[in-house]
Structures are given as C-alpha cells and as structure tokens.
C-alpha cells in the first residue's frame, strides 16, 4: 500500500485598527470621555468640577484629579464614581499617577495661591503622605514616574523640570526660558522627557543629558501630552479644543475636533492611550493541512502473516523519511503457511517422498533375490 502525507503550515500576521483614548476634559464642566479609534466620542462621566488629569489602574478603573473640588476620585469602566481622597481646600490636585505598589501619587498645585505646592502619596487605604514641598508660587503641575521610581515634575511657574526621588530629594533637570510654562511631561522608551510648554506652545524633548530640542510648535496653548504604544505623542490642544497626534519626526495629525469649539467649550486637558485594545493587537493565524494519497482501485497488496511489534521510537513522524527493509530468508520461511510458494514446497516434498519409497522397494527386492 502506498501512502503519501503532505503537511503544510501557513502563517499570516495582521495589525488592525489603532488605540483608543481616555480624555480628561476640564472646562466648562469636567468630563471623562472615551475616544474610539474611529473618532467617536462617548462621555463616560460628567463631573461638577474641572478635571485635570487621569490615570488607569490595574483593574481598568480611571483615577481622576478633580482640581476645582480638591478631590481624587475613581470612575469605573461603567461610569460609576467614588471619592478616594478629599484634599484641603485650594489644594487643586493637578497630576496623578499610580506607582508600582498601587499608591496614588498626586501633585497639589495650589496654582501659586500663596501656598507651597506638594507631591503627595495616597495609599489605597486613603492615607496621605507628603513626599516633597515645593517653594511657594512654583505650581507643580503634571508629572511622570521614571523607570527608577522617581517623579519627574513640570513646575509651570518656576519654568523648571525637576526630579523628586521617593525619599523627597529634588534635583533640577532643566531650566526653561522664562514664560515657557512647562505644564506636562511624559517619558519615552529612551528615557527622554517629552514636555508640553504651555507658554511657548512647544512640544519639546529634553534628553537625560539636559539637551532640549523642539519636536513641534503649536500656535495655541497645548496643555497635555502622553505617549501611545507606538511611540507617538498624544497632545491635548486645550484652547484649540482638539486632540492631535505628533510623530517623533514632528508630523501632526488631528485625531478629534470638539464640536463646540466655537463656544469655547469642551477643553481637553489630558488624553492618554488605553492599553492597546483587541482591535490593534497583532493577530497570528496558523493553518495546517494534511493530504493523504490512498491506494487506487487497481492496487493490490498482500498482507504478511507475520507479526511485527513497533515501539513508539520506530514509528516515523510526518517529517521523517523511512526506507522499507526486505525481510530475511529465514524470516520468510518461518512465516509462510499458505500461498503459491507454500504449494510448490509441498510438491517438491511429495516427489522426493515417492522417489525415496521406490528406492527402498527396489533395494528390498534386490536383497530377497540374493538370498534365494
């Protein structure tokens, strides 16, 4: 019997869609919106406060800094809001991030209202600890956490970018030109600081060595920046009422224009990419097909009567090549019982027997004649 097996594997890879964004909107009424990859906006929750920043926790909840109400709150993916912490009056929580221990790190800006700003830690149980107290009038706004767990803070009215260690030690990373007003910062995969300068309108990059370069210059006052999974910069053009994408090479694309921009409403404060949704994941599909060729109707096969035992190691795999081995003569003799070859053997034995009997009879007759 002839059997042919062919196995083929085809792999296809496709990337579909783009990430979706969650947007914190501050004016005139705070809102948390979800912006789909196709540019459709859905409002998840409406606040009675100006919303300044949003972070996403490990459970997919949105942690929101409600500046004008001095509240840190949590909004579930279904839009239910609960208060995590209520700050002192005038604190104006501005930036929020979540550290590796699940603590909420918050900048309390005070907007230069004659009080020092703070960066504080709110535990999941609601206990507040001050990490660092800034000079009066500096207005620490948004920040990011670097790979070493340090807090990189944009000090808007001090025109500085600073680093605060978890134990409260401050170091100036960069001094901007007066009036630049750095208001937000993100950190790219190379450790560069990507900064929004609200006063100058620049999206700039500060290297770890302290070298500044302008990526893109806006004609309005942008207020927020984040980095999407592809390394692009998502910019909230607050006073232009839109969300845009800027590539590292400085090419800008508008993602969303708010419909009530002419009424000076719907000002986006911070837009961040959600974890890449299923629509933008890379999907790999593997298909395996097997083709077998069976004997045709005219094929003949003789099944051996001997029994062969095969261990698993003797069975060839689909990718193996095997060579048929002809059985030895001794094994054939021991296995025959019927068939043409067996019949021929019996015929030979019969002839030999007849000849032998005739020889014996002739010998006996000869002996008898001699005795007479």
Q: Which residues neighbour 347 within 8 Å (Cβ) at sequence distance 6 or greater?
A: none
pLDDT in tens, 303-344: 333 333 333 333 222 333 333 333 333 333 333 333 434 444
Sign of the dihedral defined by the CA atoms of residues 248, 253, 257, 262, in that order: positive
Give this prediction's pTM: 0.70
Residue carrying structure tokens 């999974």? 229
pLDDT tens track for 92-137: 999 999 999 999 999 999 876 778 999 999 999 999 999 999 999 8
What average pLDDT does this structure show over 280-291? Answer: 41
- The values of phi and psi at residue 255, to 5°, are -90, -35
Strand 202-206 and strand 31-35: the pairing is unpaired
268 within 8 A of 54, measured Cβ to Cβ: no
Please report, rounded to a whole number, the percentage of residues in the chain having pLDDT higher than 90. 58
Q: Which two tokens stand for residue 110?
A: 């005070």
Which DSSP string corresponds to 10-60? EEEEEE-----EEEEEEESS-EEEEE-TTS-EEEEEE-SS-EEEEEE-TTS
Tally Cβ neighbours within 10 Å of residue 111.
18
How many angstroms separate the CA atoms of 180 and 303, rounded?
Answer: 91
pLDDT at 19 over 60: no
pLDDT at 84: 98
pLDDT digits (tens, 9 = 90+) for 133-151: 999 989 999 999 999 999 9
d(CA 257, CA 243): 7
Which secondary structure element, helix H or strand E, spans residue 331, and what is its range?
A: helix 329-335
pLDDT for 20: 86
Q: What is the pLDDT of residue 233?
A: 97
Of 3, 60, 63, 52, give the one whose Cα is nearest residue 24.
52
Rounded Cα distance between 211 and 66, Å, is: 34
């Amino acid at each position: 019997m002839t059997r042919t097996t062919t196995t083929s594997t085809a792999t296809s890879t496709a990337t579909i869609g783009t990430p979706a964004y969650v947007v914190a909107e501050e004016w005139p009424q705070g809102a948390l919106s979800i912006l789909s990859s196709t540019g459709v906006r859905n409002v998840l929750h409406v606040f009675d406060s100006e919303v300044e920043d949003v972070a996403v926790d490990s459970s997919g909840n949105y942690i929101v800094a409600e500046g004008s109400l001095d509240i840190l709150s949590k909004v579930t993916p279904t839009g239910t809001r609960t208060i995590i912490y209520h700050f002192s009056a005038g604190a104006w929580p501005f930036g929020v991030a979540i550290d590796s221990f699940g603590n909420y790190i918050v900048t309390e800006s005070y907007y230069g209202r004659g009080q020092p700003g703070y960066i504080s830690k709110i535990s999941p149980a609601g206990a507040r600890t001050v990490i660092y107290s800034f000079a009066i009038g500096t207005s620490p706004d948004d920040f990011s956490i670097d790979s070493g767990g340090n807090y990189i803070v944009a000090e808007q009215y001090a025109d500085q970018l600073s680093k605060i260690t978890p134990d409260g030690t401050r170091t100036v990373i960069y001094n901007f030109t007066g009036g630049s007003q750095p208001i937000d910062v993100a950190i790219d995969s190379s450790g560069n600081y990507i900064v929004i300068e609200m006063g100058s309108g620049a999206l700039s990059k500060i290297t770890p060595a302290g070298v500044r370069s302008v990526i893109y210059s806006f004609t309005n006052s942008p207020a927020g920046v984040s980095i999407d999974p592809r390394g692009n910069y998502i910019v909230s053009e607050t006073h232009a009422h839109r969300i845009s994408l800027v590539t590292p090479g400085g090419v800008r694309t508008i993602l969303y224009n708010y419909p009530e921009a002419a009424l000076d409403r719907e000002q986006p404060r911070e837009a961040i990419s959600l974890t890449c949704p299923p629509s933008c994941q890379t999907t790999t599909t593997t298909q395996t097909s097997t083709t077998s060729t069976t004997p045709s109707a005219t094929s003949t096969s003789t099944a051996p009567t001997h029994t062969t035992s095969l261990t698993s190691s003797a069975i060839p795999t689909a990718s193996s090549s095997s060579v048929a081995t002809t059985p030895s003569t001794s094994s054939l003799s021991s296995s025959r019982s019927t068939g043409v070859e067996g019949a021929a053997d019996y015929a030979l034995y019969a002839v030999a027997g007849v000849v032998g009997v005739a020889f014996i009879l002739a010998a006996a007759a000869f002996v008898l004649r001699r005795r007479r």
